[in-house]
Structure 1
């Protein structure tokens, strides 16, 4: 089963959900605002993909963090921070049977959908 993680009001997540639906791809949506982000799951993402891939340093949530928190971000500290502030996760995260991908750039849409269709 494919799980798409994100926040329902995020434009990229909305586009990804619609694209998967339109392509007839079954998926489960996990909304961070409602369902949270368990530390263990955040730890797995950081371990598999790296902090720079998982953490969105461009968004409002990142800019609102104090400088000390931003400067102390490591693979060890990121999971707890992502648990407290799941809006820091680059979105969407797509888990297709343990194969993770982050983001849904327009230029990559066709390739992502093709990979998920198999």
Structure 2
């Protein structure tokens, strides 16, 4: 069973969950609003993708940071710190696979990586 992390009312998360449901792929959803991301989880994800990929710089939460706060996000540690205090800034959804993660929603990527589950 997949673990899917995100925020229930996020449009991208909704698209991802709809796709998983339509393709009858079982998952457990972890809502950041109810279960905030933990440092250990972010460290796991940073082993599988770059910290730059985990930080959603297109969202309103990032844009609300001051220029100084944004400029301070320069490495894995500083990225984890800002993501822990602002879970809404984590690219979503995050779908955990055995030795990989998928960030966001891209139907072709989902077909390639999830259709055989």
Alignment TM-score > 0.5, same fold: yes
Could you say which residue in structure 2 is the equivalent of 1:47?
47
State the distance in 2 between where 1:46 and 1:37 align: 13
Alignment of 1:69-84 (within 5 A): 69-73=69-73, 74-84=75-85
Alignment of 1:1-118 (within 5 A): 1-73=1-73, 74-105=75-106, 109-118=107-116
Tell me the CA shift for residue 97 of structure 1.
Answer: 2.1
Tell me the CA shift for residue 114 of structure 1.
Answer: 4.2
Contact 1:94 1:101 (C-alpha < 8 Å) held by counterparts: yes
| Number of equivalent positions | 115
State the distance in 1 between where 2:98 and 2:80 align: 21
State the distance in 1 between where 2:8 and 2:14 align: 6
Q: 5+ unaligned residues in a row in structure 2: which ranges?
A: none
State the distance in 2 between where 1:5 and 1:98 align: 16
Tell me the CA shift for residue 75 of structure 1.
Answer: 1.1
State the distance in 1 between where 2:39 and 2:99 align: 17
Q: 5+ unaligned residues in a row in structure 1: which ranges?
A: none
- After TM superposition, which residue ranges in structure 1, 4 or more long, deviate above 4 angstroms? none
- Output one character per residue of 1:23-76: Cα deviation in whole Å (capped at 9) or x when no partner: 010001011111110011112222321122110111110011122221111212
Report the TM-score when normalising by structure 1.
0.89
- Output one character per residue of 1:83-115: Cα deviation in whole Å (capped at 9) or x when no partner: 11011011111102232111103xxx1441342
Contact 2:20 2:26 (C-alpha < 8 Å) held by counterparts: yes
State the distance in 2 between where 1:53 and 1:84 align: 17
